[in-house]
């Protein structure tokens, strides 16, 4: 598994690269990993997805990383 810092960096990169299509990109990655049976990869992308949601949120209580 990637470090917390690396997960945040990946989430930020996916958002900058894919914009509003970032959730679709993440879903495609998770789908491909599921077909390949890569449970660790799925968990990593799920962690990235959680951070994308936090970065995209306008909620004032979201953690700033």
pLDDT score of 57:
87
Contact 62/54 with Cβ under 8 angstroms?
A: yes
Q: Which residues of the chain have pLDDT under 70?
A: 58-65
Rounded Cα distance between 56 and 59, Å, is 9
Tokens representing residue 10 in the block: 């990946």
Contact 35/27 with Cβ under 8 angstroms?
A: no
pTM confidence score: 0.86
Domain boundaries, the chain: 4-57
């Amino acid at each position: 598994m990637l470090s917390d810092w690396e997960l945040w960096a990946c989430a930020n990169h996916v958002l900058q690269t894919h914009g509003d299509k970032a959730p679709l990109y993440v879903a495609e990655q998770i789908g491909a990993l599921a077909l390949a049976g890569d449970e660790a990869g799925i968990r990593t992308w799920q962690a990235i997805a959680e951070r994308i949601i936090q970065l995209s949120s306008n909620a004032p209580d979201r953690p700033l990383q």
